[in-house]
Every structure is written in C-alpha cells, then in structure tokens.
Amino acid sequence: MKDQLKKTRKVITRPPKKKAPHGRGPLAQGLMALVIFLLLVTAYSLITGSEKVEEISLSTLAQEITAGSIAGITVDGDELEITYKDGQKRLSKKEAGTALTTTLTNYAVPVEQLSLVDIEVKNEQGAFYWIASFAPIILPILFIVFFLWFLSRQVKGAGMQAFSFGQSKARLTAPNDKSRVTFKDVAGAREAKEELKEIVDFLKNPKKFLDIGARIPKGILLMGAPGTGKTLLARAVAGEAGVSFFSISGSEFVEMFVGVGASRVRDLFDLAKKAAPAIIFVDEIDAVGRVRGTGVGGGNDEREQTLNQILVEMDGFEPNEKVIVMAATNRPDVLDPALLRPGRFDRRVTLDLPDRKDREEILTIHARKKPFAEDVNLPLIAERTPGFSGADLYSLMNEGAILAARENRTKISQFDLIRSIEKVMLGPERRSHILSRKEKELTAYHEAGHAVVASVLPYADPVHKISIISRGRVMGFVMKLPLEDKKLQSKKEFLDDIAVALGGYVVEKLIYNDLTTGPSNDLQVSTALARDMVTKYGMSDKMGPIALESAGGKPLFGMGVGDKDYSERVSAEIDAEVSIIMNEAMKKVEKIIKDHRKALDAIATKLMEVETIEQKEFEQILVAHSIVPKKKKDIEHQP
C-alpha cells in the first residue's frame, strides 16, 4: 500500500452573500403593493355599499309622525336617520341651519305627536370627528404616496447596488483591534520574520530610513506551500506595526462586468492612502497576476486589465510612500515578470515547511488553552510529523481535543495526539470495514512486505508503525519517518523508496502467485517517481543531465499540460529507462523477500493478531531475525 499519502488541507470559506428571495425584486414588490391596495379599495367599497337605506321627503316624514308609526329620529347635521316602530329605517334631510322641531311644526305636525318621538341629536366635535370625516379621502391618497415612495426607494437601491460593483471588497482590520496578531503568535519562520521586521520598523520610524536616503520596499511577496502561514505572517506584520490592514483575495477583483477589477483596485488603493500608513494584503495573487498575453477570451482580458491597474498603483506616477503591498502565493512561477521587478515586489520571502524545532514551537502555540494530561510529549509529536505544515499541526491538535471530548474526558492524552497524526495523514478509522480472513491475511503480508524492505535497505526511512486497520481509502499502511529532517534527496534514496513501494506487489506475486488491485496506488507513486528521476532530476545514465519536463507546465494550458518539448523517439527512450528502473527495483525486492521470509511471516502473523505494531515491538521482531534496526548514528556512516 502507499506509505505516505498526500495530507488533507483545512479550507475556510466565507459564507455566501445573502440574496433576495426569488421573485422579490423591486418591481415584484411594487406590483404586490399595488394588488394589496386594489383589494383594500374593493373591500371598502363593498362594505360601504352593502347596506342600502331608502330616503323619504320631509312631508312624508311629517305624515308618518302624525300617523304614529315613527319610533325615533337621529339628527346628524342636516341628515336624519328615521327608525320605524316595525324596525325599518329611512333617511331624510332637513333644511340647513333650521331646528328639526321647527321644521316639523311648519309641516303641521301636532306637538303631542312630536313629543312621542325619541329625537337624538349628534353633536360630534374634535379631531376624531374630522379624521372620521376625511378618512375615506385621505387614506387612499396616503397609500398612493407611500406606494410611490417605496417603489422609488427600491429602484434607487437597485441602481446604487449596480454602481457599487466597482467598490473594493477589502476587509479592514483596525490598528486598535483587540484580536490583532503579532509575531509572538507566529512560530517558526525565523528568517521570514527577520526580513519583515524591517517593514515594521519603517512603519513605526520612517524618518530613520528617509534621513539616510533609503526607501522601503513597496511590495513583499510571501511564497510557500499551502498552510505554511503566509496570511498569518502578513497579519502579524500589521499587528506589530499598529497600522490599518486591508485584506482581499485575488479572485475578488474580477467580476462578470468588464472594468470592475481595475475599478476595485483603484478604490482599494484610495482607501489605503486615506488610512496611511497602511498595509494591503492580496491573498492568492496568482488569480490575477499570471503572465499576460496568454489569455483566450474576454475573461482573461479582464484579468489582464486588473493586473495592469495593480502594476500602475504599485509603481506609477503617483508615489505611495506609506502604503505597502503584501501578497501571498504558492505558484510564484506563473506570475508576470512585471510584478516581480524592483519597484513593485522588491522583496520575496520564502516560507518552507517547518523543521522539527519549528513544529514543536507551533504545537506549543496551538496547545494554549487546552488541558493536557501528564503523559503528553510535544517533542515526540513534533518528531513524528515531518512534512506537516502549520495548518496540519493546527488540525492535529484540534482533532486530539475532539477525540478526548468524544470519549467524555476532560484532558487530552498522548494517545489522542498519536491517533490524530494518522487521522490527518490518512483519514478516520473505518472499523466497520470488516475484512474476510483471506483479505486480512493478504493485507498483513502486503504491509509486512513494505516494512521488511524498508528495514533492510540502507537509504529507506525507518518504520515507526504498521497497521492493517482501514483508514480513509487505504486498507492498511506503514508509517515511515526519517531520522532527521531532509532538504535534499539523493538518487540512492529515490531508488530505495521505489523498492519499498514495490514491496507489497512482490509479496503478493511470490507468496500467492497472484495479484490484486491493492498495489495499484504503490505502482502509480513509484512509476511517477522513476519518471521524475529521468525527466526532471537528470538521474538517468542513458538520458544524461537533461531536464526534459518542468513542474510549471505552459501558462496557457496550466500545470503539466501542453505539447511535449521532446520527440517521440526521446519519449520512447524515457519509457524504456523508467521500465529499467522499475524492473531493477523489483529484482532487488524479490531477493530481500526470499532472504528474510521468516521475518516476513513473523510480522504478518503478529499483524493478524493485534492489527497494529508499534516501532518498539517491530524492532524486537527484526532483532530476533538478525535484522539490525536503523539508528540516527547510522546516517553519518552511510557509504
């Protein structure tokens, strides 16, 4: 199986921008308000027009009173509401400005008959009376005015939103922000911090540099693998200097509209000049800073226009003495040369993966506010994590805390951190993935083959752990860790690594006289390594010191894609050389397996019993079968 897998990277996405619900734009909202208004008017008309009352004349009213059929009269101004003794109601109008009794007396109504009628006079006054009187007229007018105001506001908001595309979306971290980061929060990267301390000193004391005629670099490019702390280091510079910090991603400049990217660049620099001294940080600048002249279509032209504006703002006619631009990328090979010339990104700071001492410091920082048991040994965890980035180490400590909390414990133990290393590298355990006895035996022999070959070959890394418990997409694994951190790798080490990768393949072929799909990933890794030896590192005697392929590829098509820079004949020779390297490694492995068959059987049998073998127990098995385990002192005496 594959000995070392590509480690997972942790991803922080920003939450998506809130969008208006479907169908709720300004026009839709206006139409909805209009429909509601029409419904209210219709309902009001139905209510007011539902009750129809017959109107009679004053002469008829006088006759009815004389006949004794009237029970009461309600006087409301010049209107009369007449109530008959049978419950019916009529309406009438009296003479304006004349009392009702006088009017009826003039119509020859006897006084004794008039005294039998209950006459009520409404004398309404005050604000409520006038509101009630004018409400049927005022309310529709007010509703129309509100509707027009609401519609104009929605349209204006939509128009302003359209014009806001050209505004910068940078996030500002104020100098007095309590959550600011300093160099104390950044472990490792000693040389990078020393380089950036000059920037901090200039922002704090610019006069010292200006008096001697020195100019501070206008741009600092942070280069390094993902997760090495480029963004964190940029925030630490702003925190140490106590200046405004504008952060933005390279992809946030470019939108679907032409010219938006350049407009946002101008707006960003205008904001930084107003807040000067300030730092502008552009993360993943390769999104807009790629080599110009290789684009196809309008989208790439828009990216080039954005890049041109960045170049002008960094070193154009208008000097920006107190605005420093910092950028981060893990693909410096694809950046435009104009970005890297003096006057723009004058200084390039490289961040490597942390060594053992740096890893221990990073673990110590991430261990803050975490309760640990007495058996926790951070130096040992640092030793077991070569190749881990700062983000990987953060994930390791976080996973350890999660494992302890899942088991209802209040402290994190060493065992939690050990398990977290494997989880970050390979993925979570799959205990539910139950193997049959035959598959379990085959997996045990497969992993034992890797372990035996790694223990015998002098330039292979020593084995720290063997397991046949499924994790992620692998059914088992052998954890090999170097005795010390290495920056360079030799041809002998490459050849031994290829041989170790073929250990499981050879074991299946020799012992079971058959092959499964298990070694497929091992074959891919070892073949790719052999091809790199021939085409990139000049480690083939037949091909000679020629680099036939580069890691960057062609800018137009992307990494590793495009036309070959060599002929078909050379391509056939490369394939032949790769095949020779693989076959020689397989012969070497076959001899090792045959010579140490007893050790192979012992390791496989132990794996089937306990499923996991740690380094100490594994070395005891090796000593019992006359194989000397590798020690750190052996490195100095290798031929």
Spatial contact of 191 and 223, defined as CB atoms under 8 Å apart = no
CA angle at 469 for the pair 451 and 443, rounded to the nearest 5°: 55
How far apart (Å, rounded) are the C-alpha atoms in residues 541 and 217?
Answer: 46
With H, G, I as helix, E, B as strand and everything else as coil, classify residue 582: helix
Of the candidates 516, 477, 470, 517, the one whose C-alpha atom is nearest the C-alpha of residue 500 is 477
Enumerate residues 6+ apart whose C-beta is below 8 A from 529.
Answer: 494, 497, 498, 501
How far apart (Å, rounded) are the C-alpha atoms in residues 392 and 229?
Answer: 11
Task: Report DSSP letters for 23-69, one per residue.
Answer: T-SHHHHHHHHHHHHHHHHHHHHHHHHS----B--HHHHHHHHHHT-
Spatial contact of 589 and 533, defined as CB atoms under 8 Å apart = no
Pairing outcome for strands 347-351 and 219-224: parallel
Q: Is the peptide bond before 277 cis (omega within 30 degrees of 0)?
A: yes
Spatial contact of 84 and 60, defined as CB atoms under 8 Å apart = no
Q: How many CB atoms lie within 10 A of CB 205?
A: 10
Q: Which two tokens stand for residue 522?
A: 């091992």
Tokens 């693998």, residue located? 225
How far apart (Å, rounded) are the C-alpha atoms in residues 86 and 90?
Answer: 12
How far apart (Å, rounded) are the C-alpha atoms in residues 362 and 365?
Answer: 5
CA 207, distance to chain mean position in Å, is 40
How far apart (Å, rounded) are the C-alpha atoms in residues 388 and 7?
Answer: 8
Tokens 């490369």, residue located? 574
Spatial contact of 461 and 415, defined as CB atoms under 8 Å apart = no
Q: For 30, how many CA atoms within 13 A lie in the half-sphere containing its CB? A: 14
How far apart (Å, rounded) are the C-alpha atoms in residues 166 and 266?
Answer: 9
Pairing outcome for strands 278-283 and 323-329: parallel
Sheet holding 89-93, edge to edge: 89-93, 79-84, 70-76, 118-122
How far apart (Å, rounded) are the C-alpha atoms in residues 583 and 573?
Answer: 15
Q: For 557, how many CA atoms within 13 A lie in the half-sphere containing its CB? A: 7
Of the candidates 229, 233, 228, 201, the one whose C-alpha atom is nearest the C-alpha of residue 217 is 201
How far apart (Å, rounded) are the C-alpha atoms in residues 61 and 92?
Answer: 8
Q: Which residues are catalytic, by number?
A: 447
How far apart (Å, rounded) are the C-alpha atoms in residues 31 and 24?
Answer: 10
Q: Which two tokens stand for residue 537?
A: 């590192």
Pairing outcome for strands 463-467 and 612-614: antiparallel
